[in-house]
């Protein structure tokens, strides 16, 4: 009743009051439901536990295999279930049975009948768990669905959401939400309201993937793909010249570093080389020599120490003199130097100099020698030049990034003539996902494969804002404690560490640090061979495909049989993981994090059936021994060996996030099994090079470490942990910044999607909203011609009458008579009365012809379709404009302005303009709408016959669902349904002739207002 009253109420203030009352009523209902479920919890959990016990020994068909049900929740798993029901994150170690734990709160909350969701990281786990746990839920009388078993926007997908419990991947849940807000009929929506969700591997989804928004995109229509290939050859030459310059600088620096008097000059040359080519192999080798890195850091600090900006800029320009471009490896940014611009375009050095558009427009507007028409033409020329040069410079920068910062077989692989991104957290290929902002096209041009066209955003939402829509959210993972601050700040989720069912018996050793990568890799091979000879399984974790293949070649040369699991061989993942725990096996895996499969130990890997040695984790993350056995028993069983038994984890590099390292360690020691983990590092590793403390390098220098010699100490391990914390903080700030930007769009998206849902539902409420939009549109036109300061005697009444006729087909009575329409209020009142009368007349006309055209409720359908068409078209254009604003807004910080504040202000102004545009376009299309009644004209060959409601099946353009990043990802996945063609949908029947025919949407409006045509008289054309 409150909802209906809110929509029917004409007064805005009263509508807001009713909205508040509705919100409070919903909150009270949610609290009552939660209290009821809390009361039921003991009985429900006991029911699930008893059902699990009764199912013991029964067969279960899971992804084509027959398994035997052998699980009953432990006490600690019941604790985990309680935490999940409370809407918190349960941190549970690997092998502790998170899949079974989720069944407890899922069953309890499903009893509310509102649908609960279990979100996983990949479709294999979604299908596996829905079938595996579905065996239990079905026995308990609940229905279970898996959205990844169905196609988008199908009855089967809708049926999966209507189940009591629905499994699926985070991407599919998010994309279904976006698709639901693009449908043209209410029965095409598949999702129910967002009630309760449990996220498996919650850190992976809410943190690792949070920098990458979900995007549904379509072709942008621009011909920029050819330009990437066109400029690539020039960029290749530029990179080669820069490499030669860097090599020359390094060669000059080497002798200078030998003399104490000239050391600083040598370090200055190295710093310059680092600015130009930070990954140069000669440079990296030189930086590992005693004291060199500290000298280079001193040079950098000296440059930054100048408090006076002009002095700092002067020093920077001096450093850039010989370079063609400057790279910021940490920020993944690049810019051309003056020499680079001259080299790229020697005939026209101004080609890459973007004009100051605000200054140019100011000069044009204040040039008294120019007529208004000439000013308009000059402005068009300046805007066109700015757009063209900005696009070219953008393409050059992206190509430089692709060549200098993105490595093949590290960030991406090339297969079957396509560039596939490698997930930095899991090592998996991400087919269909693309980097945004032209970066993917640049990498395609670099690799010489077909460059695909750029895409335009049609709908988007961040992972954060999607999951914040749920009334109650919970999560589970093996590693959440290190990110608990972010979980609470962004999602208001608390982290609770659940105790293990059995003591942890894995020994985590201190890191072993070497000077160079070559020394580190040799040590890894020696360790793998040593453990292999002892008959223990070894899992070697790497951070990239390239490193895994390097180690594979070294193992082959050593004659050691092994398996490789990386993005290139992911098809054999299940088979490789199944063998990874067998005696003497060696497995190289790229980032085992998120693989979702336990490594079970083979026969003989554990010496005893029940391990007698207990370990516990100390406050510093290390594991200390607390033996249960006597010294004699330990010696007899060989438990004093290093390691005694179990799976041995060998890490080859620390990841930026401590969680990923903990996940790799957690592959060993599941369910109380023994094991060991150790990380082999070098000063050339990216983490150590970019973020590692220079104190580590100094400490190694003082210790006089020779080639091949290892450094191990708790202090070193702690310093590396601090470096990881710095990176985690930096990444957190990036994710938080992304969310702050998206929150601006999120509020706008809520308004548009609410209006769209409103339009789909139709009814009397939609008619009331349509009348409000017509009122606002005709009032806006009155404002454009009268204005607050204009005297009614100065109005061009003839023009006002013509405008109302041309735009809305409205004849406003008395508009040309000053005695009838005396002021603005009279004009608005008369225009609104005319608009309302025309609206009702149109509805009455549709009612009359329903029988003739054979379409029931044709007026309601037409109203709904026009509203949806206008919303989709204008929202798509608005998203494109926001994308362009977002790209350029970062440059505002050069003018000492906060880009976020600037973005909020301009985005708000754009949204106000969007709402005016929406109302005007809707009013125009509805009031001009005509339906021709009579026999259809005979169709000619090749002609499409249209239907009465705008007819004609549109040409279907593929719609792309994608994921994009603050660090720059876009991930297209095919989404079903046709994409509306660019521009307004065809008018229904005959309309009034358009006096502005032939004017481009982005051209200045011929009326002389100075606005773009699409924002002025072209708003409805």
CA 592 to chain CA centroid, Å, is: 22
Query: What are φ and ψ of residue 440, in 5° steps?
Result: -65, -40
**Three-state SS across 127-151?**
HHHHHHHHHHHHHCCCCEEEHHHCC
User: Exposure pattern of 432-447 as b/e (b: 16+ CB <10 Å)?
Assistant: bbbbbbbbbbbbbbbb
Q: Is residue 763 part of a domain?
A: no
Above pLDDT 70, what percent of the chain?
77
Instruction: Work out the pLDDT band at 2, boundaries 50, 70, 90.
Output: very low
CA atoms of 388 and 222, how far apart (whole Å): 12
Q: Using CA atoms, how far apart are residues 650 and 554, in angstroms rounded to an integer? A: 15
Mean pLDDT within 629-647: 69
Q: Are 494 and 488 contacting, i.e. CB atoms less than 8 angstroms apart?
A: yes
399 and 420: one domain?
A: no
List the single range of 36-50, 237-251, 643-657 with lowest mean pLDDT.
Answer: 643-657
Most confident of 229-238, 354-363, 606-615, 683-692: 229-238
Q: Which of 427, 453, 479 is the last residue of a domain?
A: 453
- Do 390 and 412 belong to one domain? no
CB 228 within 8 A of CB 236: no
Section 91-101 average pLDDT: 86
Residue 722 lies in a domain: yes
85: left (phi over 0), alpha (psi -120 to 50) or beta: alpha
Could you say which DSSP state residue 347 is in?
Answer: S
Among the listed ranges 2-6, 371-375, 681-685, 782-786, which one has the minimum average pLDDT value?
2-6
Same-domain check for residues 483 and 557: no
- Answer yes or no: is 989 within a domain: no
Query: What CATH number has the domain bearing residue 445?
Result: 3.90.1440.10
* pLDDT band at residue 560 under the 50/70/90 scheme: very high
- pLDDT of 948 strictly over 50: no
Winning range, highest mean pLDDT, from 53-62, 413-422, 699-708, 741-750: 53-62
231 and 296, same domain (yes or no): yes
Task: State the average pLDDT over residues 397-415.
Answer: 88
* Cβ-based neighbours of 114, under 8 Å, separated by 6 or more: 192, 193, 195, 196
Q: Percent of the chain, pLDDT > 90?
A: 24
Q: What is the number of residues in the chain?
A: 1021
Q: Is residue 717 over pLDDT 80?
A: no
Range of lowest pLDDT (332-341, 421-430, 965-974, 1001-1010): 965-974
Alpha-carbon distance of 242 to 340, in angstroms, equals 9
Looking at 679, 700, 727, which one is the last position of a domain?
Answer: 727
Helices and strands (H, E) in the chain, number of each type:
33, 28
Angle of helix 372-405 versus helix 439-447 axis, rounded to 10: 60
Whether the bond between 643 and the residue before it is cis, its omega within 30 degrees of 0, is yes
Residue 656 reports pLDDT greater than 90? no
Region 586-600: mean pLDDT is: 71
Has residue 738 got a pLDDT over 90? no
| Closest C-alpha among 924, 805, 811 to residue 873 | 924
Kindly state the average pLDDT of the residues 752-781. Answer: 89
**Does 766 map to a domain?**
no
**Same domain, yes or no: 137 and 277:** no
Token couple for 52:
């699990």
Is residue 510 within 8 Å of 713, Cβ to Cβ? Answer: yes
Tell me, what DSSP letter sits at residue 711? B
Say which residues have a Cβ less than 8 Å from residue 62's Cβ, sequence separation at least 6.
Answer: 128, 131, 132
The answer to whether the beta carbons of residues 454 and 438 sit under 8 Å apart is yes
Contacts of 240 by beta carbon, 8 Å cutoff, 6+ apart: none
Same domain, yes or no: 366 and 414: no
Tokens of 247: 């090599």
pLDDT at 385 over 50: yes
Dist CA 681 CA 724 (whole Å):
14
Q: Contact, 760 vs 868, CB < 8 A?
A: yes
With H, G, I as helix, E, B as strand and everything else as coil, classify residue 617.
strand
- The Cα diameter of the chain in Å comes to 114
Can you tell me the distance from the alpha carbon of 202 to that of 487, in angstroms, rounded to the nearest whole number? Answer: 10
Q: Is residue 969 part of a domain?
A: no
Residue 646: pLDDT over 90: no
For residue 921, the model assigns a pLDDT of 92
State the chain's mean pLDDT as an integer.
79
Residue 30 vs residues 45, 266, 300: alpha-carbon distances, Å: 21, 68, 57
Q: Angle CA(100)–CA(102)–CA(108) in degrees, nearest 5? A: 120
Residue 917: inside a domain: no
- Confidence (pLDDT) at 947: 34
**Tell me, what's the pLDDT at 957?**
35
Nearest 5°: the CA angle 109, 114, 116 is: 55
pLDDT at 949: 38
Q: Is 900 a domain residue?
A: no
> At 555, is the pLDDT very low, low, confident or very high (cuts 50, 70, 90)?
very high
Structure tokens at 153: 């926007």
196 and 245 co-located in one domain: no
220 pLDDT more than 70: no
Give dist(CA 906, CA 270) in Å, integer.
43
Give me 811's structure tokens: 């004849």
446 and 567 co-located in one domain:
no
Per-residue pLDDT at 8: 53
For the residues 79-97, what does the mean pLDDT come to?
A: 90
Structure tokens that stand for 794 in this block: 């100065």
Tokens of 370: 């120019």
- Distance between CA atoms of 50 and 104, rounded to whole angstroms? 12
Does residue 843 lie in a domain region?
no
Query: Are residues 189 and 317 both part of a single domain?
Result: no
User: Domain check: are 560 and 632 in the same one?
Assistant: yes
Span 310-355, pLDDT tens digits: 554 565 566 777 888 888 777 677 888 888 888 887 777 677 676 6
What kind and span of H or E run contains 963? strand 959-963
pLDDT tens digits, residue range 180-209? 999 888 888 999 999 999 999 898 888 877
Among residues 727, 748, 776, the one where a domain terminates is 727
Distance CA 103, CA 165 (A): 10
Run of H or E residues at 961: strand 959-963
Q: How many CB atoms lie within 10 A of CB 828?
A: 19
What global pTM score does this model have?
Answer: 0.70
The answer to whether residues 423 and 522 belong to one domain is no
Using an 8 Å Cβ cutoff, are 513 and 535 in contact? no
Instruction: Please list, in sequence order, all residues whose beta carbon lies within 8 angstroms of the beta carbon of residue 817, skipping any fewer than 6 positions away.
Output: none
285 with 353, same domain: the answer is yes
Question: Phi/psi of residue 675, each to 5°?
Answer: 170, 180
- Structural domains in the chain (count): 4
Give me the residues paired with residue 963 across strands.
214
For residues 614 and 624, give the distance between their C-alpha atoms in angstroms, rounded to a whole number: 9
CATH label of the domain that carries residue 190: 3.40.50.300
432 or 538: whose pLDDT is higher? 538
Element (H, E) at 835: helix 824-853
pLDDT digits (tens, 9 = 90+) for 920-934: 999 999 988 876 555
Domain around 310: 225-405
SS3 667: coil
> Which pLDDT belongs to residue 950?
37
């Amino acid at each position: 009743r409150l909802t209906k009253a809110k929509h029917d109420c004409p007064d805005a203030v009263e509508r807001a009051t009713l909205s508040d009352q509705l919100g409070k009523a919903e909150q009270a209902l949610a609290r009552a439901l939660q209290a009821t479920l809390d009361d039921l919890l003991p009985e429900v959990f006991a029911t699930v536990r008893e059902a699990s016990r009764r199912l013991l020994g029964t067969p279960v068909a899971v992804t084509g295999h027959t398994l035997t049900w052998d699980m009953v929740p432990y006490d600690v798993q019941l604790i985990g279930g309680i935490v999940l029901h409370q809407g918190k994150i349960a941190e549970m170690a690997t092998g502790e049975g998170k899949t079974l734990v989720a069944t407890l709160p899922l069953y309890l909350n499903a009893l509310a009948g509102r649908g609960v969701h279990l979100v996983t990281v990949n479709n294999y786990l979604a299908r596996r768990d829905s079938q595996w746990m579905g065996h239990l839920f079905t026995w308990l009388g609940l229905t279970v669905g898996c959205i990844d078993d169905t196609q988008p926007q199908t009855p089967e997908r809708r049926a999966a959401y209507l189940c009591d419990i629905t499994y699926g991947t985070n991407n599919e849940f998010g994309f279904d939400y976006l698709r639901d807000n693009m449908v043209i009929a209410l029965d095409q929506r598949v999702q129910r309201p967002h009630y309760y969700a449990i996220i498996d591997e919650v850190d992976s989804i809410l943190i690792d993937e949070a920098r990458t928004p979900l995007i549904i995109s379509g072709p942008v229509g621009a011909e920029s793909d050819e330009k990437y290939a066109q400029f690539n050859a020039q960029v290749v030459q530029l990179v080669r010249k820069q490499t030669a310059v860097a090599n020359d600088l390094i060669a000059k620096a080497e002798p200078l570093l030998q003399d104490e008097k000239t050391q600083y000059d040598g370090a200055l040359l190295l710093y310059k080389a680092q600015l130009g080519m930070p990954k140069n192999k000669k440079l990296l080798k030189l930086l590992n020599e005693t004291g060199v890195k500290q000298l280079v850091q001193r040079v950098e600090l000296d440059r930054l120490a100048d408090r006076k900006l002009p002095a700092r800029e002067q020093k920077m320009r001096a450093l850039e003199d010989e370079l063609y471009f400057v790279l910021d490896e940490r920020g993944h940014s690049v810019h051309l130097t003056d020499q680079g611009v001259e080299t790229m375009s020697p005939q026209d050095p101004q080609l890459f100099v973007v004009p100051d558009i605000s200054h140019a427009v100011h000069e044009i507007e204040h040039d008294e020698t120019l007529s208004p028409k000439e000013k308009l033409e000059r402005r068009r020329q300046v805007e066109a030049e700015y757009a063209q040069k900005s696009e070219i410079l953008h393409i050059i920068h992206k190509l430089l990034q692709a060549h200098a910062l993105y490595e093949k077989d590290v960030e991406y692989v090339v297969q079957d003539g396509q560039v596939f991104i490698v997930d930095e957290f899991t090592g998996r290929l991400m087919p269909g996902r693309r980097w945004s902002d032209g970066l993917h096209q640049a990498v395609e041009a670099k690799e010489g494969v077909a460059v695909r066209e750029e895409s335009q955003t049609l709908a988007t939402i961040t992972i954060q804002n999607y999951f914040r829509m749920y009334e109650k959210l919970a999560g589970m993972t093996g590693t959440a404690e290190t990110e608990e601050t972010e979980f609470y700040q962004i999602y208001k989720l608390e982290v609770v560490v659940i105790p293990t069912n059995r003591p942890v018996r894995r020994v985590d050793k201190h890191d072993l640090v070497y000077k160079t990568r070559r020394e580190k890799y040799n040590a890894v091979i020696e360790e793998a061979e040593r453990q292999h000879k002892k008959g223990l399984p070894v899992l070697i974790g790497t951070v990239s495909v390239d490193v895994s293949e390097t180690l594979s070649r070294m193992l082959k040369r050593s004659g050691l049989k092994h398996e490789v699991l990386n993005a290139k061989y992911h098809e054999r993942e299940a088979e490789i993981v199944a063998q990874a725990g067998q005696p003497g096996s060696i497995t190289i895996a790229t980032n085992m994090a998120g693989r979702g499969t336990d490594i079970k130990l083979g026969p003989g890997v554990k010496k005893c059936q029940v391990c007698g040695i207990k370990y516990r984790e100390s406050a510093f993350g290390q594991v200390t021994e607390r033996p249960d056995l006597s010294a004699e028993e330990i010696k007899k069983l060989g438990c004093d060996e290093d390691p005694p038994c179990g799976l041995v984890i060998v890490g080859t590099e620390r990841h930026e996030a401590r969680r990923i390292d903990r996940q790799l360690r957690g592959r060993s020691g599941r369910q109380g099994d023994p094991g060991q983990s150790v990380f082999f590092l070098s000063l050339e590793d990216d983490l150590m090079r970019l973020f590692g403390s220079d104190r580590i390098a100094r400490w190694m220098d003082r210790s006089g470490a020779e080639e091949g010699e290892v450094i191990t100490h708790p202090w070193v391990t702690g310093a590396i942990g601090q470096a990881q914390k710095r990176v985690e903080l930096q990444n957190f700030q990036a994710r938080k910044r992304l969310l702050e930007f998206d929150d601006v769009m999120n509020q706008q998206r809520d308004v548009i999607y609410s209006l769209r849902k409103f339009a789909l539902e139709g009814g009397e409420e939609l008619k009331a909203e349509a009348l409000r939009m017509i009122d606002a549109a005709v009032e806006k036109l009155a404002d454009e011609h009268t204005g607050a300061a204009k005297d009614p005697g100065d109005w061009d009444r003839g023009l006002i009458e013509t405008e109302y006729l041309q735009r809305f087909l409205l004849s406003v009575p008395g508009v040309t008579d000053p005695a009838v329409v005396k002021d603005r209020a009279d004009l608005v009142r008369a225009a609104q009365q005319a608009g309302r009368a025309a609206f009702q007349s149109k509805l009455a006309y549709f009612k009359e012809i329903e029988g003739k055209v054979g379409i029931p409720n044709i007026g309601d359908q037409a109203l709904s379709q026009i509203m949806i068409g206008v919303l989709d078209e204008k929202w798509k254009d608005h998203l494109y404009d926001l994308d362009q604003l977002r790209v350029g807004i970062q440059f505002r910080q050069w003018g000492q302005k906060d880009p976020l504040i600037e973005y909020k202000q301009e985005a708000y102004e754009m949204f106000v303009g969007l709402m005016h545009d929406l109302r005007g376009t809707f009013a125009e299309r509805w009031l001009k709408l005509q339906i021709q009644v009579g026999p259809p004209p005979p169709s000619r060959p090749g002609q499409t016959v249209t239907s009465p409601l705008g007819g004609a099946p549109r040409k279907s353009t593929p719609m792309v669902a994608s994921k994009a990043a603050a660090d720059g990802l876009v991930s297209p996945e095919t989404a079903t349904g046709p994409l509306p063609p660019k521009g307004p949908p065809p008018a229904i029947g005959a309309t009034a002739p358009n006096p502005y025919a032939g004017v481009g949407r982005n051209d200045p409006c011929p009326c002389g207002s100075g606005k773009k045509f699409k924002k002025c008289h072209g708003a409805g054309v």
